[in-house]
Structure 1
Amino acid sequence: MKKTLLLIAALLTGFCSMAQETYKPTTENLKAREQFQDEKFGIFLHWGLYSMIGAGEWVMTNWNINHREYPKLAKTFYPSEFDADAWVSAIKTAGAKYITITTRHHDGFSLFKTATSTYNTVDGTPFKRDIIKELAAACQRHGIKLHLYYSHLDWGREDYPQGRTGLGTGRDKEKADWNSYYHFMNTQLTELLTNYGPVGAIWFDGWWDHDSDAKPFDWQLTEQYAMIHRLQPQCLIGNNHHQTPNAGEDIQIFERDLPGENKAGLSGQDISRLPLESCQTINDHWGYSITDTLYKSPKELIQMLVRAAGKNANLLLNIGPEPGGALPSLALNRLQAIGKWLNQYGETIYNTRGGIIAPHDWGVSTQRGNKLYIHILNCMDTSLFLPTGSHKVKSATVYGTNQRVNFTKTGHGITLNLNTVPTDIDYIVELTL
């Protein structure tokens, strides 16, 4: 039995590898991947009916709210403070290059007008406005890219084949109809990729709802991905499935972890050669939580961004807008701090790749051409050894100044002599190779 399981695992691994090789991204897609890696910083927005309850985006399943009762929230959805331009302006000032927003989360409510049902902001609420349309227009005005989150699962629709979540919402399991649900999803995705201008990426979530099925669940991703790439060839596809990337995926996502780390228990997969993105929360929740004031400090967030860049990844930092449509003041405070830092040091982050010096506890390196930026985040000494190997270092200066940093050749690298213990959020030494 054990040998049989090992054989099946080997065959599946081989099949996945071959499937990945059969996907040939277009020239537009490859260019978009490079641009994505250059951008380094995006803002995630989790917003929907769940925001009105103020207990996070999983409240429907966490509280076992009946699927016939939950939609009644839509009857009073009127976010009078929503201003797409204000959102995008604050996010652009923070130095972010793209926005990823939940077009439809696991509760099934759509923030855009859709022909599939009236369960959306235009046809099912007194607000009667298309959130995604307004945000897309604001992004185009401000030069920010728009990425669209889309849930693969649905706790409200009875045609969705139930997985391991949303079991207490009162749906009739016998009414599951995968063909109907798959058609519904693809219709919505077609609408999103047809009616809202250029889309930077489709960000899928929910695959894991069927990861415990006795028989592997077929999400029919190959056909769905091909449809997306056909509609917008440059559009990147990412899937938050916590697995090695599948054929047709263009970026690899790590939830609440940096690549190679698994502190949250969701990112144990191998690191692929695809562009990487780490999604993290600005406080402790994705959707708005009225009791959550545990916002990470500006120092924590800036160092998170730097460490992501040093691991050759983007940081997608999540904010849960308030029920009324405003971004929380504490979130705006953090955005301002990040933007101020990036305004001064962004050259060492944007358009770089992970440097030749691997990440260490003391910090990371980023690189552009012959410029190697040493980001010292946690050094307790006045000297620091850098394993530069065979690379010759011509000069070392404190970034943004003409202040020289003395260094000595030491074994297979150099030792920086810093004079004092660095206390900056990020003490950056620029090496010219």
Structure 2
Amino acid sequence: MRIGRPAAWLCLLLAGFVPARADDAAPQTADARTWFENAKFGLFIHWGVYSLLGKGEWVMETDKIPIAEYRKLPPQFNPVKFDAEDWARLAKAAGVRYVTITSKHHDGFCMFDSKLTDYDVVDASPYGKDPLKALAEALRKQHIKLFFYYSLLDWHHPDFYPLGKSGHQAGREKKGEWEKYVAYYQGQVRELCTNYGEIGGIWFDGWWDRPEAAWDLEGTYKLIHELQPGALVGNNHHVAPFPGEDFQMFEQDLPGENSAGFNKAGVTTALPLETCLTMNQSWGYNATDDHYKSPEQIIQALVGAAGRGANLLLNVGPKPDGAIGPEFTERLLTVGRWLESNGEAVYGTRRGPIPPQWWGVTTLRTGRDGKAPAIYLHLLKPDAHSIMLPEELVEYDAIPLGKATPLERDPEHGRTKLEIPVDGRAPYDAIIVLSPPALGR
């Protein structure tokens, strides 16, 4: 079959464009899911009192630090170099559309002003201010949405009992009332949904520590959607999505892959997808971790996610003084500059009609927002000197992004062989735009 008519071309595109909206999603939630799918790029921030030790966010567990000792950290936490406006400007320059920041990690320390505990940055540290309040306001000025990471797991709270897979070295008393802990965490979720203006959503973690526990996720998700109808709910539980969740996440892996060992759940077709990725090998600040990914690896991870219908949530771990190190900022700015020239092949796209290949991935745009319909071939391998297109695309023009001259095509057994010249390649990702002759570029 050969496709030359505009109607057939649009049918081909729309066949691969499956809106990620569950039937039971409220209209505002459905619109937020569409926005999320269009966003494609987010910034993850892991920041807390654990940064003082410079050994990552799990240091309380890995170094077997009891609560009595760990509580000595908050009085030393005074991030005088934290500047919410600088963070927001960096996010804008990087090209991210949303920021997800840790409000409470597994150590139980809250990086926001909670009225339900004094174990928070306002009451327990000399800093005495709410950095998340400042960040929410700064991001709003840049038109960037804010998501809150929240750990269901809590090594500090006395009512997180029975213990799960972790927290056994914290010196906890072997008692507690689980129902009180659930009320506590749901109360903090209410605070996050009411004290910071409109938010993008809540990103949960830690369910895997006690998967059999009565978390009342149904009640929690209902609370969020009632208080923030446009907020999205995600849960890093590594199993199939639960009812009430709005996107499926994959940790340190692209959807459908499991190199990390815990992404065993299948990939849903009903919800948006997200891959979260460290820029080095740590989430929280690690003074000795210098294994940073190159700009090429990061950009190819972003493109690889987009080609699988997913967002990339890229992490930074600020220092205890509130500064984001140059190793992070330089890479973020490089990605931002790349997106300025190539963003049309990423933002607002969906997975393309050609599944991931050895040479790279495809994304597609249906022609909304005044843009012409297009399929983008992302050639991520430098040795991809030629590629084969399926029969349905034999009549399409193939033009390197930003160029005007179509590539040479060589029909072969009902398919089309595209020859990629040296000047058709580009750093990180050679993008070829496919469009039908009837519609032009």
Equivalent residue, structure 1, for 2:286? 289
Q: Give distance in 1, aligned partners of 2:268 and 2:65.
A: 39
Q: In structure 1, which of residues 397, 413, 425 is the aligned counterpart of residue 428 of structure 2?
A: 425
Q: Distance in 1 between matches of 2:249 and 2:107?
A: 22
Are the counterparts in 2 of residues 390 and 412 from structure 1 also a CA contact under 8 Å?
Answer: no
Give the match for residue 12 of structure 2: none
Name the structure 2 match of 1:329.
Answer: 326
Does residue 407 (structure 1) correspond to residue 424 (structure 2)? The answer is: no
After TM superposition, give the deviation of residue 228 of structure 1 in Å.
0.9
Relative to the length of structure 1, the TM-score reads 0.91
1:54-85 deviation digits (Å, cap 9, x = unpaired): 00000001111111221221111100100011
Contact 1:393 1:431 in 2 (8 A): no
1:246–1:412 distance in 2 versus 1, CA, 3 Å: farther
Code of the residue aligned with 1:399 in structure 2: it is: L
Q: Which residues of structure 1 form unaligned runs of 5+?
A: 1-20
The one-letter amino acid of 1:63's match is: D
SS in 2 for 1:123: helix
Q: 1:403: how far off?
A: 2.4
In structure 1, what is the equivalent of residue 336 of structure 2? Answer: 339
Amino acid across the alignment from 1:351: G
Deviation at 1:412, TM superposition (A): 5.2
Of 206, 221, 225, the match for 1:225: 221
Question: What's the counterpart of residue 119 of structure 1?
Answer: 119
CA–CA separation in structure 2 for the residues paired with 1:67 and 1:30: 42
Superposed, which structure 2 residues align to 1:194-209 within 5 Å? 194-209=194-209
Q: Tell me the secondary structure at the aligned position of residue 249 of structure 1.
A: coil
Q: Which runs of 5+ in 2 are unaligned?
A: 1-20, 367-372, 437-441
Aligned to 2:396: 394
Instruction: Report Cα offsets for 1:338-377 as digits up to 9, x if no partner.
Output: 0110011001100000110111121000100230000000
Name the CA distance, whole Å, in 2 between partners of 1:23 and 1:51: 42
Are the equivalent residues in 2 in contact too, given 1:382–1:422 (CA < 8 A)? no
Corresponding residue for residue 158 of structure 1: 158
CA distance in 2, matches of 1:393, 1:326: 52
Question: How far did residue 394 of structure 1 move?
Answer: 2.8
Q: In 2, Cα distance between the equivalents of 1:172 and 1:255? A: 32
| 1:251-290 correspondence to structure 2 within 5 Å | 251-273=247-269, 274-290=271-287
Q: Are 2:80 and 1:80 equivalent residues in the alignment?
A: yes
- How far did residue 142 of structure 1 move? 1.1
Per-residue Cα deviation, 1:17-39 (whole angstroms, up to 9, x for no partner): xxxx9982210000000000101
In the alignment, which residue of structure 2 is the partner of 1:61?
61
Alignment partners' CA distance in 1, 2:57 and 2:299 = 25
SS at match of 2:302: helix
> Structure 1 residue 304: deviation in Å?
0.5
Partner of 1:3: none
Query: Relative to 1, partners in 2 of residues 1:412 and 1:99: Cα closer, same or farther, differing over 3 Å?
Result: farther
Aligned residue in 2 for 1:378: 381
Contact in 2 for aligned 1:256/1:264 (Cα 8 Å): yes
What is the deviation of 1:169? Answer: 0.5
Match of 1:236 among 212, 232, 236: 232
Match in the other structure for 1:70? 70
Amino acid at match of 2:220: Q
**What percent of counterpart residues are identical?**
44
CA contact (8 A) 2:80 2:321 kept: yes
For 1:67 and 1:186, how far apart are their aligned partners in 2? 23
Partner of residue 352 from structure 2, selected from 344, 350, 355: 355
Higher relative contact order (CA 8 A, sep 6+): 2
Q: Distance in 2 between matches of 1:219 and 1:78?
A: 33
Equivalent residue pairs, number: 407
